[in-house]
Structure 1
Amino acid sequence: MPSTNLNEPMCSIARSLDLLGDRWALLLIREVLFGTRRFDDFAAHLGIARNVLTQRLAKLVEAGVLVQTPLKIEGRRLGYSLSPMGEDLVPALIALMQWGDRWLHSPETVPIKVIERSNGKEVRRLQIRDASGSPLAVKDLDWTPGPGASHPAIAALVRAYEAQRVSEARPIPPVSKPAAEKLKARSKASKAA
């Protein structure tokens, strides 16, 4: 559901960074991807303070990125695993890892390679591809305002992006009068509270 709080960022990248921008969040997701399930193992592998670990795990569980599951059948101790939301982060995590391997390591210093389980071959570098599967370069990409572009929290930024476009700008859909009145009323109510 789209944000209606004018203090919350509307940009998908900003909202994602609010949840994942802390280095521990992605490292915890990496740990779960590589099979770590137990609190003590997270603490040992990462060298993270236990109070910080508790907070970060709780935040990822509350957001729906991680789920707690029994460590053993009918066990009382819980471990952590990726939810479907967390699994959707795996391509981003692998892309970040591959970027680090390419730009921050040499071929001799790459610490871990991701392979395809069925054949043992290393996965290819992740790239943005077109509908037919061909790689796209940055120069091939464009963007268009989405359905939430007229939200007051992001409309000015979208207009600025449109104004700096190299190609022809597209119109931004106006906010309907009833929607604008609702947003003003919510804003006044939150200021009064």
Structure 2
Amino acid sequence: MRRTSFANWPCSVARTMDLLGDWWTPLVLREAFYGIRRFDDFQQELGIARNTLSERLRRLVGAGLLEKQVYETQPLRHEYVLTESGRDFHNVLLAMTSWGDRWLSDESGTPVLTHHETCGHDAHAEVVCSHCRQPMEWADVTPRPGPGYPARLLSRPDIRKRFRLEGAPRDAASDRPTDTRP
């Protein structure tokens, strides 16, 4: 069955999900952050089918999140090392962890703590504004088309409504556009 591709959508969430594709891919990356580098170790830790793991590793290498490096020549064996792009994905996993800790943990508490070596405290991830360093809450942000958004789409009424470019209803209490997303 052919899978729909989101790789060319003008949306970073869609493009990221196109890369991830399924639940195994972020788990493979999680294991890489735990220090796993070799195929058999990924397979053992995750209990994933070998063919599925091969495909996920191939996809992550192809996308530039992992790099395949030879560690033995007789027989030829490779390990998978996080690239700069792969290491940068750690923030995505931390954000997912923070959300899961808040909404999915049971009464016994969070399953894994994140210890910040720099300050010596256990912490959780927060998304903050890169300019003022204040937390970025849903009610305080507005999506806008960026320089990479296809200009040809900006004339479509549904896109203009999504980005509240003109004529979007306003919330009188806050003078912010009302949420018109489906």
TM range (shorter): 0.7 to 0.9
Distance 2:148 2:134 in 1: 29
Query: Percent identity of the aligned residues?
Result: 35
Paired residues of 1:38 and 1:79 also in contact (CA < 8 A)? yes
TM-score normalised by structure 1 residue count: 0.72
Ranges of 4+ aligned residues in structure 1 off by more than 6 Å: none
Partner of 2:64: 64
Q: Which amino acid aligns with 1:95?
A: A
Q: Which amino acid aligns with 1:135?
A: P
Distance 1:38 1:7 in 2: 28
Change (3 A) 1:119 1:149: closer
Partner of 1:182: none
Report the CA distance between 1:107 and its aligned residue. Answer: 5.8
Paired residues of 1:115 and 1:122 also in contact (CA < 8 A)? yes
Change (3 A) 1:69 1:123: farther
Distance 2:100 2:154 in 1: 31
Give 5+ residue unaligned stretches, structure 1: 1-5, 169-193
Partner of 2:25: 25
TM-score normalised by structure 2 residue count: 0.75
Paired residues of 1:130 and 1:136 also in contact (CA < 8 A)? no
Partner of 1:51: 51
RMSD: 2.7
Q: Which amino acid aligns with 2:112?
A: I
Distance 1:38 1:92 in 2: 23
Give 5+ residue unaligned stretches, structure 2: 1-5, 171-175, 178-182
Counting matched residue pairs gives 161
Change (3 A) 1:8 1:149: closer
Structure number having the greater strand percentage = 2
Distance 1:125 1:160 in 2: 32
Change (3 A) 1:119 1:137: closer
Change (3 A) 1:57 1:63: same
Partner of 1:80: 80
Partner of 1:158: 159
